[in-house]
Amino acid sequence: MARAVELAYRGRGATAPNPCVGAVLVRDGEVVAEGWHRRYGGPHAERECLADARAGGVDPRGLTMYVTLEPCNHTGKTPPCTEALIEAGVAEVVIGAMDPNPVAAGGASRLRENGVEVSTGVLEPECLDLIADFRLWQKSHSPFNILKMAATLDGKIASRHRTPEPVSCPESFERVHELRSRVGAVVVGGNTFYTDNPSLSCRLRPLPEDFTQPFAVVITSRLPENPEDFTLLRERPERTVFMTTHEAARSRLADALRNRSTSVWPLCGTPGCLNLSLGFERIRYDLGCHYTLIEGGGRLAMQCAAQGLADEIVHFVAPRILGDDRAPAAYSGRGTAAMAEALDLRIIRAERVGRDMMLTMRGERGVPAASGNSGQ
């Protein structure tokens, strides 16, 4: 099952709004075929695994399949996977997590009714983590928001001068661009936009021929007076969105941005206190994005985490110490007086990337914010 989980992650992003799923076929304790759901509309993991078995001359009759999610039992973009497993003669199916979608659920019962031995709950926490995005889409109107942060060992993201310079190693930089390749929008705050003048594009090479750069979303109450000074507004203004106050959205600066085909969305609230939740819902439905990557500074990061809008945190720890109290921190702007008020997270993956550590963490939506909804 651990191998099936590993395979499933390969499809993350491309399968949305479907879940990512992995499957392996086992004979006498040895994996003889593998598959994962590669893209939305394509064959599911079970059918990919059976196809891999056929290509390798492996007869699936009497064998065991491990799959991270309950095989689907309905006809959608593809026929039911239960049907494929029964026809192939698979003797046993081991399931990690049950399908939370009532339309597709019922696969385990269908398999049992047709003589297939079924067991469930193997590595269930890992398999549920695998479909955290899918479960979110089932119950909310928000995209799945991934918060990326890179900091030194003492939690600093830049020097006190805030000049754009790398904190983490080149390998971590490449992993960030892998993340950008999987999301529909990259989100930053106003400080990052004005200080770094970022492009927020994916610079992996080579990029697929049909690849479209993610939207760039800037959360700020201060709109730019000279749009031509900024990379985003020169290179892809039509794929840039500003989320700002109602007052700023009615200004001449907003009109100038719209004349460049840049979107300006008003959000309820005041400067420093915008309703980000509604903004993220617009990202999902107006832009069609199922994933976002939040790459803002410490204040925006803390706001999103405190409001329960950071569904996953990918934090790169560079083995470097700056030691400057005036340097900006990875998470800031929250006036908490006791450790009991800290936001608790759990680590779901930890891996070494170059000389850095990459920690992937999750919390739960609905964590109370310290001081209401706020923007940057």
Q: Which pair of structure tokens corresponds to residue 31? A: 């994996």
Q: What is the DSSP letter of 151?
A: E
Question: Mean pLDDT of all residues in the chain?
Answer: 92
Average pLDDT over every residue of 296-303 = 91
DSSP SS3 for 352: strand
CA 316/CA 143 separation, integer angstroms: 23
Catalytic residues, by residue number, are 46
Sequence-ordered list of residues with C-beta below 8 angstroms from that of 76, at least 6 positions apart, any chain: 103, 104
Tell me the per-residue pLDDT of 147-193, one tens digit each, with 9 for 90 and over.
Answer: 999 999 999 999 999 888 999 999 999 999 999 999 999 999 999 99
For residue 334, what pLDDT is reported? 85
274 closest CA partner among 242, 298, 235, 251 = 242
190 closest CA partner among 253, 282, 255 = 253
What is the pTM for the complete model shown?
0.90
User: In which element (H, E) is residue 6 found?
Assistant: helix 2-8
Tell me the per-residue pLDDT of 37-58, one tens digit each, with 9 for 90 and over.
Answer: 999 999 999 999 999 999 999 9
CA 326/CA 31 separation, integer angstroms: 54
CA 328/CA 158 separation, integer angstroms: 6
Q: Is the dihedral of CA 330, 150, 376, 339 positive or negative?
A: negative
Phi, psi of 349 (to 5 degrees): -150, 145
Q: How far apart are the first and last CA of the chain?
A: 43
Confidence of residue 368 (pLDDT cuts 50, 70, 90): very low
